[in-house]
Amino acid sequence: MTTAPDDEIRKVVNRLKRARGQLSAVIDAMETDADCRDVVIQLAAVGKAIDRAGFAVISTALKHCVADDAEEGAPSLDELEKLFLTLA
């Protein structure tokens, strides 16, 4: 499988960095005894950001597997589907 274009990788990395920032905010909120509603909202945002990053990684892999006609050693479409469903 060929590597994902730099732009696609950059977008996923940016998503994960945002999630890391949101997680830090959740930790800070917990340590400062913030309102539980605010904590839950931030925690949901972290989960969603991580899920979206995972979907983007799998989507990119699917596109490249199909485009590259499933090169040797690349995950099969069944394997990618299983990965995708682990995020659902």
Query: For the structural domain made of 6-86, what CATH number should be given?
Result: 1.20.58.1000
Identify the band that residue 1 occupies on the pLDDT scale cut at 50, 70 and 90: very low
How many angstroms separate the Cα of 43 from the Cα of each of 14, 24, 72, 73, 84? Answer: 18, 10, 39, 37, 22
Q: Secondary structure of the chain in the HEC alphabet?
A: CCCCCHHHHHHHHHHHHHHHHHHHHHHHHHHCCCCHHHHHHHHHHHHHHHHHHHHHHHHHHHHHHHHCCCCCCCCCHHHHHHHHHHCC
Please give the pLDDT value at position 68. Answer: 61
Q: What is the pLDDT of residues 36-86, one digit of tens each?
A: 998 999 999 999 889 888 888 888 877 776 666 556 667 777 777 787 777
Domains of the chain, by residue range, sit at 6-86
What is the pTM assigned to this prediction? 0.66
Q: What is the pLDDT of residues 6-18, one digit of tens each?
A: 788 888 899 899 9
